[in-house]
Chains A and B, each alone.
Chain A
């Protein structure tokens, strides 16, 4: 790690480009590592390790955070949680649309839980519209639950898997 760390520069020059405060405070290096001179060829040239996946995200599950905007298609064989904005179709095993989220397009899934906004269509076996849901468009389902407070402008058709 130390091989690639440029220690010759004043700390200020590096500061603006450091991504996270957590990375700035690196663990104290072992004497053997810090003793390695930069010019000496080493057998181990290791870049900074990949920052681990955020603790909140369970592996396999995809999270589109509220800061992310996607223009295009999303497809997954696993679950997706969307808190951001998607302009396009979403296809996944289970789609959870958070309360701040906005989707323009069709959402396909085995289960779709909507707390945000969808302008388009839902095609899912099991559909849940929570109290903060705002759905403009048709819902093709087999099993639907609509909580009080949900906004639904469109047709509900129990035709999932029939066409």
Chain B
């Protein structure tokens, strides 16, 4: 399987046109394996193994994600094992994150389980992110 190139990380606010992009929803019963790419919103309640690129990603309470996430906004309510590259990261109280959280702004709710390094990066880091760094952990 060929690896699709990483979409250029868009830091600019979404243009009004793409605001109409319908959100994708992966239900509880769904298991996806591979690369998920969207310019719009993505809501995951199921299980995803692979890389996810989205404008905004919501990982529901029952969701499980294993792999890297590249997005502008990330809301985590479920379990994540991997790396997050996002300007805004919100970890709900039900979140369980293992890995690394590259962020510019992060919000952590009381009760969230985090076993991760959380490096801060300037917005320019995300702007120029065309290739994910190799994992050393």
Known pairs A50-B61, A57-B27, A69-B37 / 5 extra A-B pairs, C-beta < 8 Å: A48-B75, A53-B43, A62-B25, A65-B38, A72-B34
Q: Which of B34-74 contact A (CB under 8 A)?
A: 34-43, 45-46, 50, 55-56, 58, 60-61, 72-73
Chain A to chain B contacts (Cβ below 8 Å), 28 pairs: A4-B109, A17-B87, A17-B105, A21-B19, A46-B109, A47-B92, A47-B107, A48-B107, A54-B25, A54-B41, A60-B27, A60-B29, A63-B23, A63-B25, A64-B24, A68-B36, A69-B4, A70-B35, A72-B33, A72-B34, A74-B32, A74-B33, A77-B29, A78-B28, A78-B30, A80-B30, A83-B22, A84-B38
Give the bracket for the number of chain B residues in contact with chain A: 35 or more
Among B22, B25, B36, B92, point to the contact of A66 (Cβ < 8 A). B22
Residues of chain A at the chain B interface (Cβ within 8 Å) = 4, 15-21, 44-48, 50-51, 53-54, 56-57, 59-78, 80, 83-84, 88, 92
Per DSSP, chain A at the interface is loop
Give the top 8 A-B pairs by smallest Cβ distance, nearest first: A72-B34, A45-B110, A47-B109, A67-B40, A68-B38, A76-B30, A65-B22, A78-B29
